[in-house]
Amino acid sequence: MSLPNCPKCDSAYVYEDQAMLICPECAHEWNPNEVVVDEDALIIKDMGGNLLQEGDKVTLAKDLKVKGSSQVLKIGTKATIKRLVDGDHDIDCKLDGGGEMMLKSQFVKKSSV
């Protein structure tokens, strides 16, 4: 029976101890029957608590002033998420009828269409 490599350091020297797998190189222990959760993954939710991912369609939930201009983004404006980033403005998106912009996730709602 071949055991999988360590998910932390990719070592091939993994051994079994009862139901757990153990890596002797980095001392990582895990249960191979449990679902692996990426702890480094960025979890960003919209104002309703829905999980956002790259490629999702969102709509603005309130009017937003564009910093450095007199333009206002109206409620209901649609956007497509290009990427999620760690920071104050955590959504990099392309607005319909506009350009690319960084938005805060607390001002958007995930669109069903």
Report residue 64: phi and psi, to 5°. -125, 130
4-15 residue pLDDT tens:
998 889 999 999
Assigned architecture for domain 1-34: Single Sheet (2.20)
> pTM of the predicted model, to two decimals?
0.63
Q: Which CATH number is 56-110 given?
A: 2.30.30.40
Listed by start position, the domains of the chain span 1-34, 56-110
As averages over each run of 10 residues, the pLDDT of the chain (113 residues) reads 86 92 93 72 88 93 90 92 91 89 94 79
Sheet holding 91-95, edge to edge: 100-103, 91-95, 78-84, 57-60, 108-110
